[in-house]
Structure 1
């Protein structure tokens, strides 16, 4: 039973691009970060959000989103910040 559970966890975690070291301690901020990351498109992978993408740039953007939220930015400010630097393609 434990082997099945561990296998399931390993497969489930492989499907998620967000790495454990990216996750915020505050559950409310983490939930906001995940929602924003789902709405921002990866610049490397076509038709994938930065939340889904395993590209290094997507990881950098996920970290950037979390840093901005921790600094107190609103969701709109985070989106504006990313768009100002990477263009409207990310929307």
Structure 2
């Protein structure tokens, strides 16, 4: 099965269904378009500043710019206090 490596917290947000879209600067290979793929959480450590930025944006009138559903806020708040709770590749 093909997999797409995504940094945390994005990988878990996708799997939880609160990040329904993934944007890339390049098109997916033709061979995997329309196919099921695995989501792989990359090994990059979680950056608390990124989580804090998402929390601020989700609480503002610019919440739409995150492409996240409102339910993501509670998850992000939990992870901001404990970013090591998110799984990473080893």
Q: TM-score range by the shorter chain?
A: under 0.3
- Structure with the higher strand share, 1 or 2: 2
Q: Which has the higher contact order (CA 8 A, sep 6+)?
A: 2
- Structure with the higher helix share, 1 or 2: 1
